[in-house]
Amino acid sequence: MKRVCTNWNQAFPKGRMGLEFFPEFEMRAKNAAAEVIRVKTLAEAKNAIVNLIKHSGAKKVVAVECPLQRAANIHQAIQELGTELHSTPADIAANAATADIGISGVEFGVAETGSVCLDAYSIESRLVSTLPPIHVVFMNSNNIVPDIAAAFEIFSQVFERGYISLITGPSRTADIERVLTIGVHGPSRFVIIAVDEEITGGES
């Protein structure tokens, strides 16, 4: 899969103090209508996505796998529910428009705005994050920067090519008679599963 950066972790060395920014990040993300689920362990992260799929009644899921998902065996858990899962580039392209949930991994959060950074170089990442009505992202809860300036400092360190998205809450528009409407141009629900447990090695 194409990525802007092959290892975002280089911008977040061990011993980082991103957790101190999490309360502000959570508050601002929720103010933007995002749902934030913070869990301590990978096992709890798996339970969170399983419960979300059950409660939403989702029948079809498209997912771009990330290291957190792999470590928590998220795809296996989805398949064990009997839910239709598509995770290859070709399958995502064919099924994203009719999927109930899209699942991604994001690189970090921004406390100032409650936004998350998505490496969106690959077309499947963009499809998963824009076409299904529910977009769920997995994020390391330690990977929080204080503000947009810090986010762009990271971009300056790691950006090689491609596309980066900063996502703040579900899709919204007010261009028709200035009436705010959620979910017209993208997902109507945006769920952030923030995981405290670290995984070792690999890309972020």
Domains annotated for the chain, with CATH where assigned, are: 17-195 (3.40.50.10420)
Residues facing 119 on adjacent strands: 164
How does pLDDT run across 21-40, given as a tens digit for each residue? 999 999 999 999 999 999 99
Query: Is-above-0.85 flag for pTM?
Result: yes
The Cβ of residue 108 has, within 10 Å, a number of other Cβ atoms equal to 22
> Angle CA(65)–CA(27)–CA(111) in degrees, nearest 5?
65
* Beta pairing, strands 60-63 & 101-105: parallel
Counting every residue written for the chain, the total comes to 204
* CA pseudo-torsion sign 125, 35, 50, 188: negative
- Calculate mean pLDDT across residues 1-7: 75
CB 184 within 8 A of CB 194: no
- Position 185 confidence tier, pLDDT thresholds 50, 70, 90: low
Specify the amino acid at residue 115: S
Chain segment 51-73, per-residue pLDDT in tens:
999 999 999 999 999 999 999 99
CA separation for the pair 165, 25 (Å, rounded): 17
- Per the DSSP assignment, residues forming a β-bridge with 60 are 84
Measure the CA–CA gap between 178 and 45, rounded to whole angstroms.
Answer: 38
According to the model, what pLDDT value does residue 204 have?
Answer: 46
| pLDDT value at residue 7 | 73
- pLDDT tens, 119-144? 999 999 999 999 999 999 999 999 99
Closest CA to 125 of 155, 165, 154, 157: 165
Instruction: Give the confidence band of 170 by pLDDT, cuts at 50, 70, 90.
Output: confident
The whole-chain average pLDDT of the chain stands at 89
